[in-house]
Amino acid sequence: MASVTLKGNAVTLSGAELKVGDTAPDFCLQNNALEEITLASSAGKSRIIATIPSLDTSVCHLETKRFNEEAAQLSGVAVLVVSTDLPFGQKRWCGAEGVDKVTCLSDHRAASFGQAYGVLISGGPLDRCLARAIFVVGADNKIKHVEYVSEIASHPNYEAALAAVK
């Protein structure tokens, strides 16, 4: 399991830590239209999957906006941002911020994505939120890059994720 902190305090994550070369676990998440989205929904594409605690926090806000800008330059790549925010809130936030190049997905129902990807926070103030992480998954569903951001309140290494998807 990955070791992460929130403002210097240890955070417990549920699920196994994924590694480069692993097959990405399938998932079933909800998009802003309440439709079910799975890994196969973006079959044939490389994916950047960014997990965040909530769109309504400053770092998550900036991260999602950054990936939205980067997604406009990426051909054949699906950029997915996953949180446990409700789909209604994600839709409101995306509309207000003009975010339309990434797909925001919600793991609010069962937190099964968080468990499968090893990012589900267990206990503390962010209980049942997702830790900040980046997974680059190839069209073959193999993980090409993974970063469990060691400090949840910090930004991920955008350049490493973008380099891995090119």
Mean pLDDT of all residues belonging to the chain: 96
3-state secondary structure of 45: coil
Q: Which candidate, 138, 158, 88, 115, places its Cα nearest to that of 147?
A: 158
Domain CATH number, residue 46: 3.40.30.10
166 exposed, middle or buried (CB, 10 Å; 0-12, 13-18, 19+)? exposed
The stretch 33-52 carries a mean pLDDT of 97
How many domains does the structure of the chain reveal?
Answer: 1
What is the 3-state secondary structure of 66-88? HHHHHHCCCCCEEEEEEECCCHH
Determine which one of 60, 94, 104, 129 is catalytic.
Answer: 60
Confidence of residue 57 (pLDDT cuts 50, 70, 90): very high
- Amino acid 166: pLDDT: 86
Check if 104 is active-site: no
State in Å, rounded, how far the first CA of the chain is from the last one: 28
- Over residues 68-127, the pLDDT tens digits come to 999 999 999 999 999 999 999 999 999 999 999 999 999 999 999 999 999 999 999 999
The stretch 144-161 carries a mean pLDDT of 98
Per the structure, the complete domain to which residue 85 belongs is given by: 4-165
